[in-house]
Structure 1
Amino acid sequence: MIKKVLKALIVLAGFTAGFSLIYLLKTYFQPINPTTTVSKSAIENKNKIFKKEIIGFLPYWLINKAKDDYSKYITDLTYFGLTLDTDGTILKLTNPRENEPGWYTLKSGKLNNVFDFYKKKKIALSLLIFAGSNKLIETLIEDPVQNSKNMVNDLVPILQEYGFSGLNLDIEYTKEASNEARARFTEFATGVKNGLKENGVNSLTIDVTGYDIVKNNLINIKEVSEIADRILIMAYDFHFPGSFVTGPIGPLWGAGSIAEYDTETAVREALRIMPSEKIILGLPLYGYEWETIGREPRFAVIPNTGVLASGRRVEEIINSCQGCTRQSDTDAQESYLIYKNDKTGTYHQIFYPDRQSTLAKTNFAKIRNLGGVALWALGYEDSTILDPLKDYSIK
């Protein structure tokens, strides 16, 4: 019953957004788990009001699509990014004859005008460092002290050269880890944070998935949240191209029914560990498209048919497709689009966020007094999905 009321009030907040409503939700709907330790700082900071950050990620493969002036929406621009090698240094070559694309794009000067533009708009710049291979990450944390030093030594000159004021650490390990491995990652993150601070870089954001918060994955959320300045919850890819059934990408609600997990659950668990202003909620600007033999939502997927569907592609399909069925999922706060391929006889199902998704999630972030939201990624968006952000951040 409480969850139904919470949902209704978050949707209502999109239209009324009064202080009394937000205060009621902030103070009343605070779930308590007696088996979970709530940090002192989380309690002390419960009722503080903070400037809300809006982080826009700019991946190297979208720089030719992300041509809009995003300064009216974002407070921070994060370049994605550079890739870690096994010893903590920056990977510059993928083979002896080929530059690593994130490194090449940065060093080629293609982004210089972009960075200069946003600096003039008083938008902070950050750099994202990525590692996504389980094997590489396992090697990386074998010597956490030395490899964190290697990383800092390689990065600091780059941060200074391009005017990046912060670092985003995106280590995506995709299975559960031993206690020893978790401890080594914490030691690695500690070394990175201390090394950055010694060199005058005072902002470290660490990215986590929703599953990292509730499972024994590599990142020990409680320990890492005490190291990082921000914890960014990547609240998307709850369904992904390899999913067995179609479904929402970043459902706000619906854990156990429309998805194994949801955004509300991830945030609720995170709030038991860390202060609200430390949490950044990641929002997808894209969806996924699958082929199925049936037209019902959450139908079994034909293997190997899942692909990313940008907001722009979805918008084009809606504008050109007369036989499409477009519906909204009130639990997920996402939409889905189903249409038939007459040539193959199969159906295409696209689940995607839209303007209402952004409105619902920014209202949710306000109610929970989160530190801000992050957008993955600039260049994927449709023409309206960013509109609610104009009223979100306290400038």
Structure 2
Amino acid sequence: MDIYVVSLGDNIDRIAADYGVSADSIIYNNQLVYPYELVVGQALLILFPDEEDFSSKPQIRAGGYAYTYISPWVLEQTLPFLTELFIFSYGFTSEGELLSPPLDDYWMIQSSLSQNVRPILTLTPLDASGQFNNNLITSVINNASYKQNLISQLLSTIQAKNFSGVDVDFEYIKAEDRDAFTAFVNDLAETLRPYGYTTSVALAPKTSANQPGLLYEGKDYAALGAAADSVLLMTYEWGYKYGPNMAVAPLNMVRRVVEYAVTEIPPEKIHLGIPNYGYDWPLPFERGVTVAATIGNVEAVRIAVNHNAVIQFDETAMSPYFRYINNGMEHEVWFEDVRSVLAKFNLIKEYGLSGADYWQIMRWWRANWLLLNEQF
């Protein structure tokens, strides 16, 4: 395979001829839209015919998070590239009563199993109204009866619905709840393991053991890594909806998280988080006022094409970005492309991590999955 970066005057036919591949394959693999306009700086995945055999899954654990309202077509297209599907999300009450997603997830579980993908129940502190509430965490993990109630219901739900495990995705855990949270994960894993079910836990992107902040203080990397069967490093959201315009997952920052994580957790237990989205910020950024629009990575390129923007590439963040003007207002877009994802794949290889988990797979991004399969 190769990655080609579009230059001024390029067109699909010329690029295809230079590589000796069909124009149709470039169009299909990169989800180009008729009349197949290109923009300077756009990265194209070029796969040669003898590399386009995707009958087997990548030789790496690859997971994707999905809401129960995912398009059946998108899920069908994505499942062949996954080993795990994290169904988002189950919640619970302050007494440990498990709450199901608002839409039925049975069809997703069955689709996963039919494609040899492990369906995973994702557990988050969602209340009955669907809102995140970290007080639920405090209530359940500090009360033996409530904790046992939740663990028992998780086990029975897994068995009844044919899940393969649980992913604990708790954020903003209070510092004083740190050890109780670790104990909860350990108790859950000890309960599920004899039945062959796995327990994973999502970790905020820490760079040191005593990193301050509500997002970090409740997560003990070493203890959680020992308790769970695997962990997900949530290495995204440096650039976020209400934050300043910057890369969503800058490689220099992602690397710092990985460098710390492998000092606390065996690499074979670690999955790297990868974002399947970008953000479009109106400028100038004003904290508390500016709200970025969430966009897909394929959509980002279409925006650049429609506004004849030149896509730049930040060699430190290893991320693409561009600016454009719409109705007199300047915008800045940061997103992921095959170059930025390849850099993350190389980081996985460098540190011997065991997997890549995507937040989230609601948008179909063919080039990413083809690249994953080719690299692993």
Which TM-score band applies after superposition, normalised by the shorter structure? 0.7 to 0.9
2:300 match: 314
Change (3 A) 1:65 1:341: farther
Given the alignment of the two structures, is residue 169 of structure 1 paired with residue 168 of structure 2, yes or no? yes
2:329 to 338, 341, 346: 346
Classify the secondary structure of the residue corresponding to 1:167: strand
Q: Which runs of 5+ in 2 are unaligned?
A: 1-44, 47-58, 126-131
> Residue type of the partner of 1:348?
H
Alignment partners' CA distance in 1, 2:80 and 2:157: 27
1:65 Cα deviation from its structure 2 partner? 6.5
1:124 match: 118
1:204 match: 199
| Contact 2:80-2:115 within 8 A present in 1 as well | no
> Residue type of the partner of 1:74?
L
Given the alignment of the two structures, is residue 89 of structure 1 paired with residue 85 of structure 2, yes or no? no
Change (3 A) 1:318 1:65: farther
1:1-395 → structure 2 map (5 Å cutoff)? 52-63=60-71, 66-92=74-100, 102-106=101-105, 111-112=106-107, 114-131=108-125, 132-143=132-143, 145-173=144-172, 177-178=175-176, 181-198=177-194, 200-211=195-206, 214=209, 215=211, 217-243=217-243, 245-253=244-252, 262-293=253-284, 303-322=289-308, 324-342=309-327, 345-393=328-376
Alignment partners' CA distance in 2, 1:386 and 1:162: 28
Q: Identity percentage over the alignment?
A: 22
| Contact 2:304-2:310 within 8 A present in 1 as well | no
> Residue type of the partner of 1:382?
W
Classify the secondary structure of the residue corresponding to 1:272: helix
| Contact 2:267-2:354 within 8 A present in 1 as well | yes
1:270 Cα deviation from its structure 2 partner? 0.6
Alignment partners' CA distance in 1, 2:305 and 2:73: 20
Detail structure 1 runs of 4+ shifted over 6 Å in the superposition: none
Alignment partners' CA distance in 2, 1:389 and 1:383: 10
Classify the secondary structure of the residue corresponding to 2:365: coil
| Contact 1:63-1:379 within 8 A present in 2 as well | yes
Q: TM-score, normalised by structure 2?
A: 0.76
> Residue type of the partner of 1:227?
A
> Residue type of the partner of 2:179?
A
> Residue type of the partner of 1:352?
F
Alignment partners' CA distance in 2, 1:138 and 1:370: 31
1:71 Cα deviation from its structure 2 partner? 3.5
Aligned-pair Cα RMSD in Å: 2.5
1:79 Cα deviation from its structure 2 partner? 1.1
Alignment partners' CA distance in 2, 1:105 and 1:182: 33
> Residue type of the partner of 1:81?
S
1:283 Cα deviation from its structure 2 partner? 0.3
Classify the secondary structure of the residue corresponding to 1:154: helix
> Residue type of the partner of 1:326?
I
Alignment partners' CA distance in 1, 2:316 and 2:304: 22
Q: TM-score, normalised by structure 1?
A: 0.72
Classify the secondary structure of the residue corresponding to 1:150: helix
Q: What's the CA shift string for 1:337-379, capped at 9, x where partnerless?
A: 211122xx32111111111122111111011110111011112
Alignment partners' CA distance in 2, 1:164 and 1:67: 17
| Contact 2:203-2:234 within 8 A present in 1 as well | yes
2:29 match: none
Alignment partners' CA distance in 2, 1:80 and 1:168: 10
> Residue type of the partner of 2:307?
C
> Residue type of the partner of 1:105?
D
Classify the secondary structure of the residue corresponding to 1:223: helix
Q: What's the CA shift string for 1:213-258, capped at 9, x where partnerless?
A: 5425112111111100101101100121111x210001111xxxxx
With 128-137 and 283-292 compared, the bigger mean Cα shift is at 128-137
